[in-house]
Amino acid sequence: MSNKTIEWSFEHDLDFILSSTEDVFLSLKGAHIFLTGGTGFIGCWLLESLRHANQRLQLDIQVTVLTRNPQAFAAKVPHLADYPKFRFVSGDVCNFEIVEGEFSHIIHAATDASAQLNETNPLRMFDTVVEGTRRVLDFAVDKKPEKILFLSSGAVYGQQPWEMERVAEDWIGAPNCLDPRAAYAEGKRSAEMMCAIYGKQFGLQISIARIFALLGPYLSLGIHFAAGNFIRDAMQRKPIVVNGNGLPCRSYLYAADLTVWLWHMLQRAQPNKPYNVGSDESVSIRQLAERTSVVLGSGEYKVLGADDAGWNLGRYVPDTSMIGRELGLHKTVSLDEAIRRTALWHGWKEK
């Protein structure tokens, strides 16, 4: 059966997540999770899947979500904002006040992964990542949760050598610390160091997910992600335009797979250890443009060949063999299907 004949709905993804994580969710029965970044792309998937599991399995898992603007989130996703097991507290991750209650788990997912912010205000980007992580870790020292999951980034490796097809967790690369565009990447490296220090000094059990590029419902179209821009243009029946030479290589993990991996990591990953979280299927930006246009549109695309000024002109593709070997986690949704489902969620109509 081809991808285009598969019936899909968002409920289908939630059922898949539940069936793939049921044992993990059952082990979390009665848990109280503190979640930062819960109103972003990844946070919405975590909340959607947890609400679904709560309703199906009667788990009584509660989540306290730190957000800068609870009202904006309520307007955006009212069914999550109104869910009685979720409590939203207003605050900035860098300086939020102590939140009352006991917490069994903490997921620190708050990061403004904005290319524009990284370009125009790298100091704010760096502070948000570093000081925000330190504030969450100090909060954890006070609350003493059983487990902590920190969402880091594959950007910590810096420029992946072109001859390295996939980058593994044991590769000691680094961003250019004298390039302000590396503020996000260096911030994540510093945050990982703080996780290691707090793990040693205070005994916190922290697992680290180094996340690569993603696709799926809740992904914003038309900002700084090439994949989102391509999907937007194809949905509008426009030819897809690659401004650069199209050679940089990326990979894209579908958000339902991502969500399964993160819930397993929270409960099962070895503490104080990083795991790559992403797809190991490399695709050039040129190939991504072509595939997106074929899946969604007319197949039209063009490469302008302009100088590429992006932060990573080479490969950005993880080796995910460790998470597969240790936790049994693997990608299940193809790139073409991930493109299709993302577009369907945004209102695209298949012919």
Domain of 269, CATH number, reads 3.40.50.720
Mean pLDDT value of segment 231-253: 92
C-alpha dihedral over 130, 133, 137, 143, to 10 degrees?
A: 150
pTM over 0.75: yes
**What is the domain count for the chain?**
1
The rounded distance, in Å, linking the Cα atoms of 351 and 345 is 15
pLDDT in tens, 160-203: 999 999 999 999 999 999 999 899 999 999 999 999 999 999 99
Q: Is residue 44 in some structural domain? A: yes
pLDDT in tens, 147-156: 999 999 999 9
Q: Is residue 245 in some structural domain? A: no
Q: Is residue 126 in some structural domain? A: yes
Residue 167: what pLDDT? 97
CB atoms within 10 A of CB 271: 14
The rounded distance, in Å, linking the Cα atoms of 336 and 350 is 14
Q: Is residue 185 in some structural domain? A: yes
Q: Is residue 195 in some structural domain? A: yes
Q: Is residue 181 in some structural domain? A: yes
Mean pLDDT value of segment 233-240: 91
Residue 2: what pLDDT? 38
Q: Is residue 293 in some structural domain? A: no
Is it the case that residue 3 has pLDDT exceeding 60? no
What single-letter DSSP state applies at residue 314? S
Please, what is the average pLDDT of the chain?
93
pLDDT higher at 1 or 266? 266
> Which residue range is the domain that position 28 belongs to?
3-215+252-279+318-331
User: Two tokens at 44?
Assistant: 């919405």
Is it the case that residue 234 has pLDDT exceeding 80? yes
Residue 4: what pLDDT? 46
Q: Which of 175, 321, 167 is nearest to 249 (CA)?
A: 167
Buried residues in 74-86 as b, exposed as e (16+ CB within 10 A): eeebeebbebeeb
Which ranges of the chain does DSSP label H, i.e. alpha helix? 10-27, 41-57, 70-76, 78-81, 115-120, 122-143, 183-202, 226-235, 255-268, 285-296, 321-327, 335-345
